[in-house]
Amino acid sequence: MRGSTVMRWVTAIGEAFLAVPFIGGIFVMSTGYSALGVMFILHAITLVLAIRDHSAKSGSILGLATSAFAWIPFVGWFLHLVTAVVLVFQAVLSRPRYY
């Protein structure tokens, strides 16, 4: 499995956790919003790996935007949810197919 695919799964799980109503928000606020900074760094790493692997980049770019705007309460929840779904789809579609 390519590094970009592994990182897509990692960031998708992180985004899905942050998209859980109230729990994700409480976690982000309890870390002093540094969880968003960590997710930003993870999305940047995923983007670099996707560029290297010549694979889809939109999920990582969306994740970077989500990390930047997720401090807005309900907008953040929606962005985390959409980003998690996009990253899961890209991770599933980027797996090698065995026929």
Contact 56, 5 (CB under 8 A): no
**Phi-psi map region of 32: left, alpha, beta (phi>0 left; psi -120 to 50 alpha):** left
**What SS3 state is found at 98?**
coil
Per residue in 41-75, pLDDT tens? 999 999 999 999 999 999 999 999 999 999 898 99
| pTM of the model as a whole | 0.90
CA–CA dist 53, 67 (Å, integer): 23
Q: pLDDT tier at 99 (50, 70, 90 boundaries)?
A: low
Q: pLDDT tier at 19 (50, 70, 90 boundaries)?
A: very high
Measured between its terminal Cα atoms, the distance across the chain in Å is 16
Return mean pLDDT, the chain. Answer: 92
